[in-house]
Structure 1
């Protein structure tokens, strides 16, 4: 069944990029999707922050390299000032450090500009539904099996089923509240499970949990937009 034949909830999106040609291309891609409403655009980071504050979209698609406020700082600001807005970052950078910093800043998506024509709408849908989207071509580099995650993966038999569930949903980008709804438990219970699981596996940050999830294969479906 095609997307056009399947009813979808409308997704309100804003976009920001300081290159007019790139911005026009991104807008055209988003406007081609019947379930996406493009509600605003900006040409710099400060304008993007004002736009997000005014429109409170479901998703903000942001260039990393913008004047006034760069994409990383903007993601941090949005996480604090508009926590309900899910951020997808667009970039030409394939460096692992960029991905780790943006995940820690609260971004839900990381997409290379060269992949945008094929994957942007898919990424918007994925993060709007509460998931995480990483460009398949950088996922291997960004989420490489470090010694810590390899050790954690080898030790995961110590996790209870609930701890494993919470860690899996966390790696996939779901908030504590979203996980609580899915598992039909309280938010405090989710926090407890996450803390116990992280302590058992020696995972000290959200980025490490995501890398662990990649080792476990929990992100494979998300990278393909399923």
Structure 2
């Protein structure tokens, strides 16, 4: 790539965006062309600016509501022409990270390792290769390879149910709000938990806290 690598940074924490800005500002081969605090802002930036790499969190306000950017990133990566995506995250749950790889994310960096590895991740994905930081690799290696759900990403409806449930709504309340049957809501909740490798309600709440949903 002969031109500067054009980067858009998306994270709902200003301190994270400032940290990424600091890392990239001394790089003569990179430039930040935009910053967003949520997926709505990210979508507007992508429409307005040519971009090679999106560096994005997943636990930030979603364009469809809630606090999850995964559905938006999934749609972005399905486009015929799209930027590379490097996810910068505190999530250390192997099934979730595996799901990100499954939707086409080629760079995943644990935020605690950003100073040491984010630049390498941006350069690596631009060459068409995969970059995973050390902590991410550890979490992915711990995933049971025989699990049929290990690489599954949640559907938009499953995320919707998942988010409402961890906010404290009961199954029948979610069913009423979304105008679906309680049986459908219960099925979608169980499916989401299986795909994420969550076995108990405690696991579900702990996971939701880690990605900023609770």
Structure 1 SS opposite 2:108: strand
Q: Which whole-Å CA distance do the structure 2 matches of 1:12 and 1:147 have between them? A: 36
Q: Which whole-Å CA distance do the structure 2 matches of 1:64 and 1:129 have between them? A: 23
Q: Is the 8 A contact 1:110 1:135 kept in 2?
A: yes
Q: Is the 8 A contact 1:88 1:110 kept in 2?
A: yes
Q: What is the TM-score normalised by the length of structure 2?
A: 0.61
User: CA shift at 1:18, angstroms?
Assistant: 0.7
Q: Which whole-Å CA distance do the structure 2 matches of 1:129 and 1:67 have between them? A: 30
Partner of 1:55: 49
Q: Is the 8 A contact 1:53 1:82 kept in 2?
A: no
Structure 1 SS opposite 2:17: helix
Partner of 1:31: 25
Matched, 1:96 2:94: yes
Q: Is the 8 A contact 2:55 2:88 kept in 1?
A: yes
CA RMSD of aligned residues (A): 2.1
Which has the larger share of helix?
Answer: 1
Count of aligned positions: 143
**Structure 1 residues without counterparts, runs of 5 or longer:** 1-6, 150-226
Moved beyond 2 Å, runs of 4+: 68-71, 80-84, 143-149
CA spacing shift, 1:145–1:41, aligned 2, 3 Å: closer
CA spacing shift, 1:82–1:66, aligned 2, 3 Å: farther
CA spacing shift, 1:143–1:8, aligned 2, 3 Å: farther
